[in-house]
């Protein structure tokens, strides 16, 4: 991986993170500025893809792996039955701040509606 974002540095263990999930392809860690009681980011470990818009068809399986990792984590932590939200932001207007694709898992409280411009 040639990516030098903060997420790549977390993957390489150059900076600390509270890692809560890891397999061969995905790393999950707690967000440092949580937007819900549970806020975990899931990132691909082996491919540096800046935005969702940059995912090529042959990389589509990575999005599924991120979603399955988030669902596994939700079940293992016991909040899947109460519900959770997964979100992927794309580019600045979509709220993306780190340009290494990632999926947000939010849970732990009623999340209400979303989609209203802020």
* Catalytic sites, residue numbers: 102
> What whole-number distance in Å separates Cα of residue 19 and Cα of residue 114?
27
Partnered with residue 105 across adjacent β-strands are 40, 86
Sheet-wide strand order for 103-107: 19-22, 26-30, 38-44, 103-107, 84-87
């Amino acid at each position: 991986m040639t990516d030098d974002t903060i997420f790549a540095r977390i993957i390489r263990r150059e900076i600390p993170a509270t890692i809560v999930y890891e397999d061969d392809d995905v790393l999950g860690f707690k967000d440092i500025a949580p937007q819900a009681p549970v806020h975990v980011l899931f990132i691909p470990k082996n491919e540096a893809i800046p935005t969702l818009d940059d995912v090529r068809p042959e990389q589509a399986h990575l999005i599924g792996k991120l979603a399955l990792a988030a669902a596994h984590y939700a079940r293992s932590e016991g909040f899947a039955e109460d519900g959770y939200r997964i979100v992927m932001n794309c580019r600045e207007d979509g709220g993306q701040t780190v340009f290494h694709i990632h999926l947000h898992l939010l849970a732990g409280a009623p999340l209400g509606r979303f989609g209203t411009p802020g």
